[in-house]
């Protein structure tokens, strides 16, 4: 596991997690079909909701993720995007990528628990566990997956500049890595 990685379980109080989960699964929450996950028309489909991009709030739902932002306490936000991948018959990896072509931090907040995961080029796999937050340097190649045991896999992807390297507002790893990592 890369030393820049920070994994925090139970990031939010359960009531705040439930608000995000309930909002994301409402029939009128605005998910938008995205043809391509890593590259346009790469053969994969996901549904996305852009909270913030190009120095602009793009969502009427920013209030539900403010508790996460307060804990991460970024110096600056590049982008915040929610991803929803419907259940699949088998786990599919979507291809190694980086989220930006410049150095910053990437944070992934896992909205629901499922058998999907985030995998890094070094073989590290982080399980999708509801209320888990993982933060890492943006240069690390990684991939997300589908899931097979839940209706969908939902994450919120944060790209940001940290006030201090590897910091998430003074929070440190709270996860027993033997329990959060999937054996290679």
Share of the chain above pLDDT 70, in %: 84
Distance CA 184, CA 174 (A): 21
CB 122 within 8 A of CB 61: no
Record the tokens describing residue 182, joined without a space: 């999937």
Q: Which tens digits make up the pLDDT trace of 121-164?
A: 999 999 999 999 999 999 999 999 999 999 999 999 999 999 87
pLDDT band for 38, please (50, 70, 90 cuts).
low
122 vs 175, residue with greater confidence: 122
Hey, what are 64's tokens?
């539900």
DSSP-derived secondary structure letter, 176: -
Q: Measure the CA–CA gap between 33 and 79, rounded to whole angstroms.
A: 18
Q: Where are the alpha helices (DSSP H) in 25-120?
A: 62-72
Please say whether the beta carbons of 60 and 77 come within 8 A.
Answer: no
pLDDT tens track for 51-78: 999 999 999 999 999 999 999 999 999 9
Predicted confidence at residue 47, as pLDDT, reads 94
**Segment 103-122 mean pLDDT:** 96
Compute CA 184 distance to the chain's CA centroid, rounded to the nearest angstrom: 21
Higher per-residue confidence, 93 vs 60: 60
Average pLDDT, the chain: 88
Given a cut of 90, is residue 80 above it in pLDDT? yes
- pTM beyond cutoff 0.75: yes
Residue ranges and CATH numbers for the domains of the chain are: 6-170 (2.60.120.620)
Give, in order, the Cα–Cα distances in Å from 69 to each of 3, 112, 162.
23, 18, 11
């Amino acid at each position: 596991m890369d030393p820049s990685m920070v994994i925090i379980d139970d990031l939010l109080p359960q009531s705040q997690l439930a608000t995000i989960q309930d909002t994301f699964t409402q029939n009128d929450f605005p998910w938008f079909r995205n043809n391509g996950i890593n590259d346009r028309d790469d053969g994969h489909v996901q549904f996305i909701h852009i909270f913030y991009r190009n120095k602009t709030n793009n969502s009427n739902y920013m209030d539900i993720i403010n508790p996460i932002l307060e804990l991460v306490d970024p110096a600056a936000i590049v982008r915040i995007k929610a991803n929803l991948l419907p259940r699949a018959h088998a786990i599919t990896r979507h291809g190694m990528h980086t989220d930006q072509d410049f150095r910053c931090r990437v944070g992934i907040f896992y909205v629901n628990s499922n058998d999907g995961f985030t995998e890094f080029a070094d073989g590290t796999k982080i399980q999708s566990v509801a209320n888990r937050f993982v933060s890492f340097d943006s240069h690390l190649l990684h991939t997300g997956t589908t899931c097979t045991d839940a209706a969908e896999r939902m994450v919120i992807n944060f790209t940001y500049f940290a006030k201090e390297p590897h910091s998430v507002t003074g929070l440190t790893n709270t996860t027993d890595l033997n329990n959060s990592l999937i054996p290679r």
